[in-house]
């Protein structure tokens, strides 16, 4: 028997929805176990699942100033005004030495202890191999998971979920924080966009009509023939229902974690909240922008530095808040491409190629900068101007999906790519 | 069990309206039932006026001259009002029918022939719309630090008062502050494929009354904001209030004017085109000085060229301080310019010292390394000009072309960006050498380099195709028929990029009126917000809450950070969070809970609250959806309306009352109203 869930029927908290859909079942004359029952079962806690959080830095973050190759003199030659100084004893306005060659931007100081504790790893000179320098195309490729191929309609994160089908998946299995669903989560597996947990409900305006109004909308959307709206509508109302039970209003971050007060920080806090609610979350997506610093990027201080402060504090707060749960979580960052190795005429950087990725979590074999360093001599640069690419982001993600989420068919997640596990960098414990 | 399922789902997969994931299996069955019933009853025309039904589409005089074969007259008129306008107002269908659809379209294509004084009168409330950039900078200065702090204290007091007022009328709301325009950001802190959201510095609901943290909040001068965009849209932040002299007010007036025009302008197609071109040549208000430049950009650059020649539009944007600032071109200079200038200075000195006897040689050492603050080439504009404004990303250019284009535009800059911000060509900063773009030599010299380049790009076949595709996507369907796109591209090329001519070709194409394109587009958040107001005939006094709803549903006006502009495909707008906000918006608007907006649902529906709920529903479907709701929508709603909660029994009145606002809100939230 696949569905051992008769208790679930008795304990049905989806009562209104139950009758609604039950009516539908009778109409269609079907005796199969209806989907809502499977989901009711799924609503019970499932804390042992592995979870993945993907952070997309939109606008092409400057990887060379985030994880600084301070051991390369070329770096200082090419960036006369924006380079991060070499590490110095007791100095806070210089790179934080990681391994004698690479250093963290000083604004990422909150991440240093995580690196030392094996919780944080870095992959450098990584990214999408497509040569485009268009933000739009590059983001599209990195999210579709098929660089260079525009016809792909869905995103790799969604396809990854489809390879591990869950017939009784929670409506929160895949969640994007924000008003819109990112390309990465488009596809056949249900995924929801959550702008703000506190506001995720139908707000009836006339007293006492709440239930009726919500029921009316729900019924319309569950029965509409509008293909695009039908699925979204169903997901919306399931999520509202489940979230009501999880009662996110009660939430307080733990272990003294302090999230930054900007959008990224607050989104990370809500991600933490969703994970702790044990409502079947498996993958989460969040993005942040502002990385496209063509002008006055700054070095130790400045625009990039400010963004990194929020990023560093946000990740550290999340790690602290999650506590032991970090054992089941992998957090990975990516950005559509890197920036020119040389600074431009406006003390900024233009669109480049390879970048760095950060990985954080209990399964991560931290304390290491992975990947082959291509060097920054003129002849080593991509197109004579950018950090060359030595690690395809799909190998990094592929390893996480395989080892962490248990995805088996990487070839359908990244079609046309060599997904051989032997090419994994060994970023995660097996 | 699984054996039973399998053949069933493979059968259902053949029906396009079904998503076949196991999870939605049950829902799929429901849909099939609907599809089956639809095939019997479609076109779902229970409420189409009887007059229309009797006439054959082709014979209808109202449609004369247009290639309409698949749509009924009423459908065709609705379609036109949904595509070439922001949806019908009460009585619009009848008006167009009387006038004749072709004549209405001709008028819309020639907006200056339409009297729009009533709308202009509404815009009198927004003085910034008529101001020069210099005046805006002068009258809406960045507040100084001391002033900021005083204002924060005031703002807080006001907010508390407003909060208590709002609590009376809003049944369900939390204690958060309203979202606000993103603060000034040299480093705009967020983008996304999705929409940038207003963001706060301290959104913690647990401590809503706390003094905002100094630092970021203070430097941005905006006090507390809601980062995740979940505040009450009725609550207008201090910095954008009517009497505010803060720079945020300038952008707020733009947003209110845009909403006002879309609702009330008789020149509807003009508003649609303004929106289209602004989005095509997007500029983000959150980038530094651009908050002051957008007023002129929209008024003097976009609007006058919306139906004109494409080349003029590109040229005007290229020379606009808004674009020059947004895509950094105002900083892009020939890297050798500094050396050249040093040499000239030396020459002048020598001349002064040595008299006029001989032409002196430059003395600067060309090998000298550039100083730290020497400026150089910035290729940001060069790339986006080709990728997003003209050729399209597949238009056939290379990285080398991008650099060469950037060289063409060196010296195109802004004179006094913080005083009056005029376009200036500075020959001293221009790269004088020959450039090669797309294999063609550009050597017109000086400012003509850029102009020659624009001329070349505007007339390139890739541009014709790219612009035609975008127009067809806006007006016809997400994936427009290739034959239609080629026809538009032909007109584009043969008419020297005449936008008016391209639109005419499109509207007089059968594809525009096909059954397939009918209601094929999902409304963007802006379209949804505006079309609902129009459908209800709401009288809007204060459009700010509407502006904030547009942001909340995912499309904050003037706040699209990436140069791509907002997406024009359904995927971008259909998701759980946005859908929920659409529903909540419909309820708030129809329930008369929107500050500064009044709707008379009773007279609009022609029924009063003592009516039978089904009568009210029929009227609402007829008025808001042109009578065209899927049978399931009507059936479902009828069932819901039997719910005793809809019939409010008042204590002193034994009769049952229908809450018409709830009925209207439900129908505006129906799937059918999300499409145009």
Chain A with chain B: Cβ pairs closer than 8 A: 368
Does pLDDT of A362 surpass 70? yes
Residue B199 with chain A: CB contacts under 8 Å: 262-263
Q: What mean pLDDT do residues B407-432 have?
A: 96
Higher-pLDDT residue of B240 and A118 is A118
Q: How confident is the model at residue B644 (pLDDT cuts 50, 70, 90)?
A: low
Domain range holding B610?
600-674
| Percentage, residues of chain B above pLDDT 70 | 73
Please report the beta strands in A362-412, taking only residues with DSSP state E, as ranges in sequence order. Answer: 368-370, 391-392
Residue in A176, A222, A350 nearest the CB of B379: A350
Does pLDDT of B210 surpass 70? no
pLDDT score recorded for residue B634: 85
- Average pLDDT of chain B is 80
Cα B227 from Cα B180, distance rounded (Å): 9
Nearest CA-CA distance, residue B256 and chain A, Å = 22
The string of pLDDT tens digits covering residues B351-392 is 887 655 555 444 444 444 444 445 789 999 999 999 999 999
Q: How confident is the model at residue A42 (pLDDT cuts 50, 70, 90)?
A: very low
Is residue B100 in some structural domain? Answer: no
Q: In degrees rounded to 5, what are phi and psi of residue A325? A: -60, -20
Q: Which of B495, B517, B539 is the last residue of a domain?
A: B517
Say if residue B49 is preceded by a cis peptide, omega within 30 of 0.
Answer: no
Q: Which of B568, B590, B612 is the last residue of a domain?
A: B590
Does pLDDT of A319 surpass 80? yes
Is residue A115 in some structural domain? Answer: yes
A330 touches A53 (CB < 8 A): yes
CB of B648 within 8 Å of a chain A CB? The answer is: yes
Does pLDDT of B206 surpass 50? no
Judged on CB neighbours under 10 Å (0-12, 13-18, 19+), A160 is buried
Residue B669 with chain A: CB contacts under 8 Å: 217, 220
Residue A200 with chain B: CB contacts under 8 Å: 577, 580
- A136-140, A221-225, A248-252: lowest mean pLDDT where? A248-252
Q: Chain A residue with minimal CA distance to B204?
A: A261
A289 touches B196 (CB < 8 A): yes
B259 and B330 part of one domain: no
pLDDT score recorded for residue B638: 85
The string of pLDDT tens digits covering residues B481-540 is 999 999 999 999 999 999 999 999 999 999 999 999 999 999 999 999 999 999 999 999
pLDDT score recorded for residue A17: 35
Using the beta-carbon criterion (under 8 Å), do A204 and B195 form an inter-chain contact? no
B625 touches B608 (CB < 8 A): no
Using the beta-carbon criterion (under 8 Å), do A182 and B193 form an inter-chain contact? yes
Q: Which of B538, B563, B590 is the last residue of a domain?
A: B590
B471 and B385 part of one domain: yes
Is residue B39 in some structural domain? Answer: no
Nearest CA-CA distance, residue B612 and chain A, Å = 17
Q: Chain B residue with minimal CA distance to A349?
A: B378
B439 and B491 part of one domain: yes
B579 and B645 part of one domain: no
pLDDT score recorded for residue B161: 47
Does pLDDT of B147 surpass 50? yes
- A42-56, A67-81, A355-369, B642-656: lowest mean pLDDT where? B642-656
Is residue B117 in some structural domain? Answer: no
pLDDT score recorded for residue B70: 96
Q: How many domains does chain B have?
A: 3
pLDDT score recorded for residue B171: 26
CB of B185 within 8 Å of a chain A CB? The answer is: yes
B629 and B500 part of one domain: no
B527 and B631 part of one domain: no
B567 and B484 part of one domain: no
CB of B570 within 8 Å of a chain A CB? The answer is: yes
B248 and B300 part of one domain: yes
Mutant choice from A20, A181, A220 vs B, greatest count of B C-beta within 10 A: A220
Compute the half-sphere exposure of residue B224: CA atoms within 13 Å on the CB side of its CA: 25
Cα B392 from Cα B27, distance rounded (Å): 40
- A218-227, A319-328, A355-364: lowest mean pLDDT where? A218-227
Q: How confident is the model at residue B258 (pLDDT cuts 50, 70, 90)?
A: very high
pTM to 2 decimal places: 0.76
Residue B576 with chain A: CB contacts under 8 Å: 181, 192-194, 232, 235-236, 239
The string of pLDDT tens digits covering residues B148-159 is 555 665 666 555
Higher-pLDDT residue of B539 and A215 is B539
Is residue B461 in some structural domain? Answer: yes
Residue B227 with chain A: CB contacts under 8 Å: 261-263, 265-266
pLDDT score recorded for residue B645: 59
B442 and B546 part of one domain: no
pLDDT score recorded for residue B144: 59
How many angstroms separate the first and last alpha carbons of chain A?
31
- A17-31, B218-232, B327-341: lowest mean pLDDT where? A17-31
The string of pLDDT tens digits covering residues A139-196 is 989 999 999 887 788 999 999 999 988 877 888 999 999 877 899 998 888 889 888 8
The string of pLDDT tens digits covering residues B602-636 is 889 988 777 778 888 899 999 999 888 888 888 88
Nearest CA-CA distance, residue B431 and chain A, Å = 14
Q: Name every residue whose Cβ is closer than 8 Å to that of residue A217 and which is 6 or more positions away in sequence.
A: A202, A233, A237, B583, B666, B669
ipTM of the complex: 0.75
Is residue A139 in some structural domain? Answer: yes
Is residue B582 in some structural domain? Answer: yes
Is residue A215 in some structural domain? Answer: no
B390 and B301 part of one domain: no
Nearest CA-CA distance, residue A29 and chain B, Å = 10
CB of B334 within 8 Å of a chain A CB? The answer is: no
pLDDT score recorded for residue B647: 60
Q: What mean pLDDT do residues B8-25 have?
A: 42
Using the beta-carbon criterion (under 8 Å), do A136 and B393 form an inter-chain contact? yes
Nearest CA-CA distance, residue A173 and chain B, Å = 12
pLDDT score recorded for residue B628: 82
Higher-pLDDT residue of A10 and A131 is A131
Is residue B14 in some structural domain? Answer: no
Using the beta-carbon criterion (under 8 Å), do B645 and A208 form an inter-chain contact? yes
Using the beta-carbon criterion (under 8 Å), do B204 and A296 form an inter-chain contact? no
Is residue A238 in some structural domain? Answer: no
Residue in A165, A194, A233 nearest the CB of B577: A194
B436 and B504 part of one domain: yes
pLDDT score recorded for residue A196: 86
Q: How confident is the model at residue A243 (pLDDT cuts 50, 70, 90)?
A: confident
| Percentage, residues of chain A above pLDDT 90 | 65
In eight-state DSSP terms, residue B522 is B
Domain range holding A376?
51-196+256-423
The string of pLDDT tens digits covering residues B85-140 is 999 999 999 999 999 999 999 999 999 999 999 999 999 999 999 999 999 999 99
Is residue A102 in some structural domain? Answer: yes
Q: Name every residue whose Cβ is closer than 8 Å to that of residue A155 and which is 6 or more positions away in sequence.
A: A143, A144, A145, A182, A183, A184, A185, A186, A187
Cα A139 from Cα A118, distance rounded (Å): 30
Does pLDDT of B31 surpass 60? no
Is residue B643 in some structural domain? Answer: yes
Does pLDDT of B586 surpass 80? yes
B491 and B395 part of one domain: yes
Is residue B158 in some structural domain? Answer: yes
Mutant choice from B576, B593, B621, B646 vs A, greatest count of A C-beta within 10 A: B576
- Which B positions 475-534 lie with beta carbon below 8 A of chain A? 522
Is residue A290 in some structural domain? Answer: yes
Residue A2 with chain B: CB contacts under 8 Å: 1-2
Assign residue A346 the CATH number of its domain. Answer: 3.40.720
Q: How many domains does chain A have?
A: 1
- B18-22, B42-46, B171-175, B648-652: lowest mean pLDDT where? B171-175
Using the beta-carbon criterion (under 8 Å), do B201 and A220 form an inter-chain contact? no
Is residue A233 in some structural domain? Answer: no
pLDDT score recorded for residue B640: 79
């Amino acid at each position: 028997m696949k569905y051992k869930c008769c208790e679930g029927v008795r304990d049905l908290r989806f009562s209104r929805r139950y009758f609604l859909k039950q009516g539908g079942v009778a109409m269609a004359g079907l005796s199969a176990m209806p989907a809502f029952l499977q989901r009711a079962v799924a609503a019970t806690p499932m804390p042992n699942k592995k979870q993945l959080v993907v952070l997309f830095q939109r606008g092409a973050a400057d990887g060379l100033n985030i994880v600084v190759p301070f051991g390369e003199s070329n770096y200082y030659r090419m960036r006369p005004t924006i380079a991060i100084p070499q590490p110095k004893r007791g100095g806070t306005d210089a790179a934080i030495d990681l391994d004698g060659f690479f250093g963290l931007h000083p604004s990422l100081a909150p991440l240093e202890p995580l690196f030392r504790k094996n919780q944080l790893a870095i992959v450098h000179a990584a990214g999408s191999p497509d040569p485009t320098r268009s933000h739009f195309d590059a983001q599209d490729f990195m999210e579709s998971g098929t660089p260079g191929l525009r016809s792909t309609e869905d995103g790799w994160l969604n396809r990854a979920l489809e390879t591990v089908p869950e017939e009784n998946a929670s409506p929160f299995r895949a969640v994007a924080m924000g008003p819109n669903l990112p390309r990465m989560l488009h596809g056949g597996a249900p995924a929801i966009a959550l702008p703000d947990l506190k506001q995720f409900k139908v707000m009836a305006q006339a007293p006492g009509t709440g239930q009726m109004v919500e029921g009316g909308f729900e019924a319309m959307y569950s029965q509409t023939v509008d293909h695009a709206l039908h699925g979204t509508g169903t997901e919306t109302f399931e999520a509202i229902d489940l979230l009501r039970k999880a009662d996110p209003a009660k939430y307080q971050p733990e272990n003294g974690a302090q999230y930054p007060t900007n959008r990224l920080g607050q989104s990370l806090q809500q991600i933490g909240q969703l994970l702790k609610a044990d409502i079947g979350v498996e993958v989460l997506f969040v993005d942040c922008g502002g990385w496209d610093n063509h002008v006055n990027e700054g070095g130790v201080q400045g625009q990039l530095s400010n963004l990194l402060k929020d990023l560093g504090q946000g990740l550290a707060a999340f790690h602290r808040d999650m506590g032991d749960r970090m054992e089941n979580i992998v957090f990975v960052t990516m950005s559509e491409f890197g920036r020119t190795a040389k600074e431009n005429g406006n003390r900024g950087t233009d669109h480049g190629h390879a970048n760095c990725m950060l990985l954080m979590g209990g399964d991560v074999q931290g304390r290491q900068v992975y990947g082959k360093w291509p060097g920054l001599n003129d002849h080593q640069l991509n197109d004579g101007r950018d950090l060359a690419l030595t690690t395809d982001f799909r190998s990094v993600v592929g390893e996480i999906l395989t080892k962490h989420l248990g995805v088996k068919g990487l070839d359908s997640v990244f079609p046309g790519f060599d997904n051989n596990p032997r090419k994994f960098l060994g970023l995660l414990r097996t | 069990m699984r054996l039973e399922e399998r053949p069933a789902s493979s059968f259902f997969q053949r029906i396009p309206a079904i998503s076949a994931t196991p999870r939605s299996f049950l829902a799929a069955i429901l849909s099939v039932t609907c599809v089956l019933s639809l095939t019997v009853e479609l076109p779902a025309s229970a409420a189409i006026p009887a007059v229309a039904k009797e006439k054959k589409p082709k014979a209808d005089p109202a449609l004369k001259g247009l290639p309409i074969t698949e749509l009924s007259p009423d459908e065709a008129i609705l379609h036109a009002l949904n595509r070439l306008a922001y949806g019908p107002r009460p009585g619009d269908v009848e008006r167009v029918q009387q006038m004749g659809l072709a004549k209405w379209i001709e008028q819309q294509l020639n907006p200056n022939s339409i009297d729009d004084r009533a709308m202009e009168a509404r815009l009198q409330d927004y003085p910034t719309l008529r101001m020069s950039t210099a005046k805006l900078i002068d009258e809406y200065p960045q507040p100084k630090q001391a002033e900021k702090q005083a204002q924060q204290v005031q703002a807080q007091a006001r907010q508390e008062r407003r909060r208590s007022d709002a609590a009376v009328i809003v049944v369900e709301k939390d204690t958060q502050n309203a979202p606000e325009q993103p603060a000034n950001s040299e480093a705009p802190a967020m983008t996304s494929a999705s929409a940038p959201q207003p963001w706060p510095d301290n959104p913690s609901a647990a401590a809503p009354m706390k003094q905002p943290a100094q630092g970021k909040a203070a430097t941005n001068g905006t006090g507390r904001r809601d980062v995740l965009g979940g505040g009450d849209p009725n609550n207008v932040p201090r910095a954008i209030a009517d009497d505010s002299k803060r720079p945020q007010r300038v952008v707020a007036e733009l947003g209110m004017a845009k909403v006002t025009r879309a609702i009330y302008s008789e020149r509807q197609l003009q508003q649609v085109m303004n929106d289209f071109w602004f989005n095509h040549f997007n500029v983000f208000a959150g980038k530094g000085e651009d908050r002051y430049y957008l007023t002129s950009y929209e008024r003097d650059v976009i609007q006058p060229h919306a139906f004109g020649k494409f080349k003029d539009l590109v040229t005007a944007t290229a020379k606009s301080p808004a674009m020059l600032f947004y895509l950094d071109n105002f900083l892009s200079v020939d890297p050798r310019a500094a050396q050249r200038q040093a040499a000239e200075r030396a020459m002048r000195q020598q001349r002064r010292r040595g008299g006029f006897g001989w032409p002196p040689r430059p003395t600067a050492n060309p090998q000298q390394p550039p100083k730290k603050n020497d400026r150089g080439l910035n290729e940001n504009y060069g790339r986006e000009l080709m990728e997003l404004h003209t050729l399209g990303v597949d238009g056939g250019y290379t990285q080398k072309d991008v650099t060469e284009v950037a060289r063409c535009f060196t010296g195109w800059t802004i004179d006094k960006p913080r005083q009056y911000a005029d376009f200036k060509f500075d020959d001293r900063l221009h790269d004088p050498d020959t450039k090669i773009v797309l294999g063609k030599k550009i050597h017109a010299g000086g400012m003509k380099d850029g102009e020659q380049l624009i001329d070349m790009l505007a007339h390139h076949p890739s541009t014709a195709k790219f612009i035609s595709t975008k127009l067809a996507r806006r007006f016809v369907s997400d994936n427009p028929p290739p034959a239609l796109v080629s026809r538009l591209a032909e007109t584009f090329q043969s008419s020297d990029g005449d936008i008016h001519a391209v639109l005419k070709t499109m509207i007089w194409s059968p594809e525009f009126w096909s059954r397939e394109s009918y209601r094929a587009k999902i409304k963007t958040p802006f379209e949804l917000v505006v079309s609902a107001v129009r459908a209800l005939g709401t009288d809007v006094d204060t459009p700010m809450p509407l502006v904030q709803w547009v942001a909340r549903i995912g499309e904050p006006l003037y706040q699209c950070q990436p140069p791509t502009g907002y997406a024009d495909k359904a995927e971008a707008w259909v998701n759980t969070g946005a859908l929920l906000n659409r529903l909540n918006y419909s309820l708030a608007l129809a329930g008369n809970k929107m500050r500064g907006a009044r709707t008379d649902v009773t007279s609009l529906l022609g029924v009063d609250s003592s009516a039978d709920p089904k009568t009210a529903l029929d009227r609402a479907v007829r008025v808001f959806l042109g009578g065209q709701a899927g049978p399931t929508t009507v059936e479902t709603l009828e069932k819901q309306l039997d719910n005793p909660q809809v019939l409010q029994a008042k204590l002193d009145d034994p009769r049952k009352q229908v809450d018409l606002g709830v009925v209207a809100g439900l129908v505006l939230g129906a799937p059918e109203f999300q499409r145009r």
